[in-house]
Structure 1
Amino acid sequence: MTVPHPERVDESGTPVRGPARRASPWRGQGPVVAMVSLGGVVGATARYGAGQLWPTQTGAFPWTTFAINVVGCAVIGVFMVLITDAWAAHRLVRPFFGTGVLGGFTTFSTYAVDIRTLVGTGHPGTGLGYLAATLCAALAAVWLGTTAARRALARRRR
């Protein structure tokens, strides 16, 4: 004889009848999504404020976006060392700060738009220089942030 709904048991071993209920996919990820969103608001607000304080003239090198991206890359280098080597962070710290705040603060989409605008408005040299300078400076900033944080931790542990 076949059983329409095989008997299942809950955590305590008690039989459970009826079809299985599917867990919501947001149940486990809800807090992560919320923290990324909250952090993104903080980071994007800081980036917007920086753009308002130091606007870029049309055709000029976009120093504000350049600085934001380089600083954000240095901070992510330091942050990743701290949460992997120095202290055990709560599971929501990385999504909040690393993905949310720093993801909202750094703006590689604006970087791409800035390059396109510079090239399209007759400043291809500035656009290509900005493209190369940002890439090199961002990679160097991550490396410097990581290296500085590791050295500081090593000195502290002695």
Structure 2
Amino acid sequence: MTEPTPRSDEIPVLPIDPDVEVAQSAGAPRPVHLRPAYIAVVFAGGALGTAAREALSLAFPPADGIPFVILGINVAGAFLLGFLLDALVRRGPDEGTRRMLRLLLGTGVMGGFTTYSALAADAARLIGSGSALAGILYGLATVLVGAAATWAGIALAAATHRASRRADR
């Protein structure tokens, strides 16, 4: 089954912000971040992600003052977020179940699981304690490897999507 190819004279109309639903009814659209149900979903996901991060950081303390588990958490979270968001966007508009999954897993769980505030604090602590090179490398490695992990997550989601479409034919 193939998707119809849009005609060149058709210009798709995209929402300005996927978190603003434009209802067919009169009145201004209400942003998603102001809706109690969505706030609760993000809160629940954030609590789960934060608990998982805390459990891992307690189970695996820093080695030689370097919090490798936080680096791993941030890289894993970047990969998972890249995979999740690409997988969701390939399955259709950001509404209904897809929106709930994005908010629960992406914004909530991955937002609570990853911790760039701890990255900044740990890098500053390393630099302030006389390990400037370790602090700088720790910060750079987290950001650069995290960016590569995000790309890898997106690439894997795209490949998975292509494979499932071929299997459907």
TM-score tier, shorter chain, comes to 0.7 to 0.9
Match of 1:134 among 142, 146, 156: 142
**Conservation of the 8 A alpha-carbon contact between 1:54 and 1:64:** yes
Q: Following the alignment from structure 2 to structure 1, what is the Cα–Cα distance between the partners of residues 164 and 105?
A: 24
**Conservation of the 8 A alpha-carbon contact between 1:81 and 1:146:** yes
Unaligned runs of 5+ in 1: 1-24
Over the residues paired in the alignment, what is the CA RMSD in angstroms? 2.2
Matched, 1:46 2:60: no
Q: Following the alignment from structure 1 to structure 2, what is the Cα–Cα distance between the partners of residues 42 and 32?
A: 16
Percent identity over paired residues: 33
The TM-score with structure 2 as length reference comes to 0.73
**In structure 1, what is the equivalent of residue 68 of structure 2?**
63
Deviation beyond 4 Å, 4+ runs, structure 1: none
Unaligned runs of 5+ in 2: 1-30
**In structure 1, what is the equivalent of residue 121 of structure 2?**
113
Q: Following the alignment from structure 2 to structure 1, what is the Cα–Cα distance between the partners of residues 52 and 59?
A: 11
1:26-79, Cα deviation, whole Å (9 max, x unpaired)? 9x610111111110100000000100111114x532210000000000000110
Matched, 1:78 2:86: no
Q: Following the alignment from structure 2 to structure 1, what is the Cα–Cα distance between the partners of residues 79 and 131?
A: 28
**In structure 2, what is the equivalent of residue 29 of structure 1?**
35
Q: Following the alignment from structure 1 to structure 2, what is the Cα–Cα distance between the partners of residues 93 and 62?
A: 30
Any idea what SS the aligned residue of 2:112 has? helix
Q: Decide which structure has the larger Cα Rg and report it.
A: 1
Q: Following the alignment from structure 2 to structure 1, what is the Cα–Cα distance between the partners of residues 100 and 38?
A: 6
The TM-score with structure 1 as length reference comes to 0.78
Q: Following the alignment from structure 2 to structure 1, what is the Cα–Cα distance between the partners of residues 92 and 68?
A: 34
Any idea what SS the aligned residue of 1:122 has? coil
**In structure 1, what is the equivalent of residue 133 of structure 2?**
125
Match of 2:108 among 69, 80, 100: 100
Matched, 1:149 2:154: no
**Conservation of the 8 A alpha-carbon contact between 1:40 and 1:100:** yes
Residue type of the partner of 2:104?
A: F
